[in-house]
Amino acid sequence: MNDRAVRGRGASSARDSGARRAKAADALDAGALAADAAGGLLGAVFGAASALRHDKPLHPRGIIYDARLRRAGSPVTWHCGWLDEPGDDHGTARLSRSAGLPPPMPDIHGLAITFTGDDGERHDLLLATTGTGRWGRFVLAPRADPYTRPYTSLFPYRSSQGLVLLAASPTSSHRPTRPPAAVTFRLQAARVSGPWHAFGTLELLAPAAGLADDPVRFDPVMYPLPDLRWPTPLIRLREPAYAAARRTPARAESPRA
């Protein structure tokens, strides 16, 4: 093969590589624009709902618990200290109904947790009632009871090992007739379609002053978990909705979960 043919092939390969990079960049730009547009729409919807309700657009009523996260360490390595290593985190949790429907009507329940980590920073985790199967873990599921159903993060976090979903599954199947003073959930992590692996427990305990609601705000975008981040498209999608919710003051009322 002569030098001219070699140079021709090299130039063609460079052009192909450049074209692939350009297509990838265009795809990323299109994805970012789509996420921004969808996020802006969600922000507008949440803002309108807040204005109509004069309250949070979702999860307007709930119950506040003291929270303790006892991390035993995951049997599967995630290259994320918060999942892999034992530890104790203390904070606040809130159980709530997404649409605010009165019990015993089914609703999508939320389990929100905020705590201060070993790094001294605030960290928030938001979970919702879903299934736990391969596909059900991505589907919101209305339930009548918030204490005996599993919760998941619905969307995956990104660790240095890849995407990971988080879950809190109840350790008891007993359905209480009134909000209990103590509840325990098993904390779990899984790959997008993989099995769940327990890495600790979440204990919810009634505060000394008794069960009540409190206008606390949770924001997993502003206060991500240690060593875990949401993929950028999800941040673009969800941040406008959280920003809209933050602009409306919440009202504290009697507990409802």
Asked whether 70 and 85 are in contact (CB, 8 A), the reply is no
Give the CA distances from residue 35 to residues 20, 21, 218, 223, 233, in Å, rounded to whole numbers and listed in that order.
Answer: 22, 21, 22, 20, 6
Structure tokens at 122: 């605030």
What SS3 class is residue 254?
coil
pLDDT of residue 6: 47
Q: Phi/psi class of residue 134: alpha, beta or left (left: φ > 0; alpha: ψ in -120 to 50)?
A: alpha
The pLDDT of residue 214 is 84
Under the banding of pLDDT at 50, 70 and 90, the label for residue 232 is confident
> With 80 as the cut, is the pLDDT of residue 4 above it?
no
| Cβ-contact 113, 69 below 8 angstroms | yes
Query: 231 pLDDT band (50/70/90 cuts)?
Result: confident
- Domains of the chain, each with CATH number or no CATH: 62-233 (2.40.180.10)
Between 16 and 223, name the one with better pLDDT: 223
Give CA angle at 140 (53, 161), nearest 5°: 115
Q: Give me the mean pLDDT over the 130-142 stretch.
A: 94
pLDDT one-digit tens code per residue, 62-120: 999 999 999 999 999 999 999 999 999 999 999 999 888 888 899 999 999 999 998 89
- Write the burial class of residue 55 (CB in 10 Å: 0-12 exposed, 13-18 middle, 19+ buried): buried
Q: Over pLDDT 70: what percentage of the chain?
A: 69
Give pLDDT, residue 178.
87
Residue 48 CB contacts under 8 Å (≥ 6 apart), including other chains = none
**What does pLDDT average to over the chain?**
78
pTM of the model: 0.74
Query: Percent of the chain, pLDDT > 90?
Result: 49
SS3 162: strand
